[in-house]
Amino acid sequence: MIITDEKSLRVKCVDALPGEVVSIIEQLDNELLHETSLGRPGIGLAAPQCGIHKNIAIIRINDHLKIDLVNCKIVAKYDQYVFENEGCLSFPGMFEKTLRYNEIYVEGNDVEPNRFIATGLFAVAIQHEIDHLNGILLPDVAIKTKQNKLRPNDLCSCKSGKKYKKCCGKE
């Protein structure tokens, strides 16, 4: 089951041990297939979305663009642009404009390939999943517009049930 609780999703992950990798990747693959069977297809899934706070994520765009991300990081980013309609299985129905990079360099992957370049949708998916591993969520990277701006008496976007002025807008 995909986790939708923001507090749980904001926990920064720790590196996975070699003996944990295969079973976690298998669990992520199964969950992604399950979501697709329910009519909620996704192209990536990070371990914290399944309640596992380890630095593991998978990308499954099609039969040719598949990768397991284990204990890796993005070391360089190029060609920033606005990506339209980025979605997330942990935020069903939410699609946002985000500021992403068209080309990224990834290193330290504990599975092959150990370092690689990703572009386009593949790069966006990797950035999204690595954000999850660092406790960064889709609402955090969404481009804020006037339409999205909360007024003091609006309910807070953190889903606390409190008015914005009494919650996150206190500052």
Give the residue numbers annotated as catalytic, written as ranges: 129
- Residue 156: inside a domain: yes
pTM, whole model, 2 decimals? 0.83
Above pLDDT 90, what percent of the chain? 80
- Residue 115: inside a domain: yes
Cβ pair 77, 60 in contact under 8 A: no
Q: What's the confidence (pLDDT) of residue 126?
A: 98
pLDDT over 70 (residue 148): no
Position with higher pLDDT, 117 vs 65: 117
Confidence tier at 135 by pLDDT (50, 70, 90): very high
Cβ pair 103, 117 in contact under 8 A: yes
pLDDT (average), residues 113-133: 97
Rama region for 14: left / alpha / beta (φ>0; ψ in -120 to 50; rest): beta
Q: What's the confidence (pLDDT) of residue 62?
A: 87
Cβ pair 56, 21 in contact under 8 A: yes
Q: What is the pLDDT of residues 39-52, one digit of tens each?
A: 999 999 999 999 99
Mean pLDDT of the chain: 92
The stretches of the chain forming alpha helices (DSSP H) are 6-9, 18-37, 120-133, 138-141
pLDDT (average), residues 95-108: 97
Number of domains forming the structure of the chain: 1
Q: What's the confidence (pLDDT) of residue 121?
A: 96
Nearest to 14, CA basis, from 52, 41, 53: 53
- Residue 1: inside a domain: no
Q: What is the CATH number of the domain that holds 97?
A: 3.90.45.10
- Residue 62: inside a domain: yes
Q: What's the confidence (pLDDT) of residue 147?
A: 56
Question: Cα 71 to the chain's mean position, in Å?
Answer: 15
Residue 128 CA to residue 72 CA, distance in Å, equals 13
Q: Give the structural domain span for 124.
A: 6-170
Which residues is 107 bridged to in the sheet? 73, 115
- Residue 16: inside a domain: yes
